Amino acid sequence: MPTVTFRGREIECKEGETLRNVLKRAGLSPHNGKTKTFNCKGFASCGTCAVAVDGEVSDVGIREKGRLLTPPHHPNYDLRLSCQTKVLGDIEVEKYPGYWGTKIAEGPLPPVDEGDDDSETSEAAAD
Ligand code: FES
């Protein structure tokens, strides 16, 4: 049973489970700020569920690749859409600040137990 490590938490899941679903089931979110409510619900169109993933996951699909090539995303960010990513083994996941989670230079968000730091500092225009 794979383990997902995210913001100081460890969550066990079924192999092949979608990463976004794993996080949400655990009461966590791959989204920042208002995108926790306003997102495409897993259809690879909004791009706000983007996270950095280290570990064994599914390959990038055509829809996901297309969204990650569309600004404000950029292929150099090396992010994945959690709604399109299947967990295949133990993985470590980081979420970055910003509306789309693309403020990589600011570093990943801290453990959830250290506070919810992704409040409304994430205006779309600033990302
Ligand atoms: S939830 Fe919109 S792209 Fe993943």
Main-chain dihedrals φ then ψ at residue 52, nearest 5 degrees: -95, 135
Res 15 pLDDT > 70: yes
Domain boundaries, the chain: 3-105
Rounded CA-CA distance 111/11 in Å is: 14
User: pLDDT category, 113, cuts 50, 70, 90?
Assistant: confident
Distance (Å) from CA 55 to ligand 1 centroid: 20
Q: Whole-structure pTM over 0.75, yes or no?
A: yes
**To which CATH superfamily is domain 3-105 assigned?**
Beta-grasp domain (3.10.20.30)
Best of 38, 45, 100 for a ligand 1 pocket test (most atoms within 8 Å of beta carbon): 45
The candidate with the shortest Cα–Cα distance to 44, out of 17, 9, 22, 18, is 18
Q: How far apart are the first and last CA of the chain?
A: 36
Query: For residues 52 and 71, what is the distance between their CA atoms, to the nearest angstrom?
Result: 17
Q: What is the pLDDT of residues 44-59, one digit of tens each?
A: 999 999 999 999 999 9
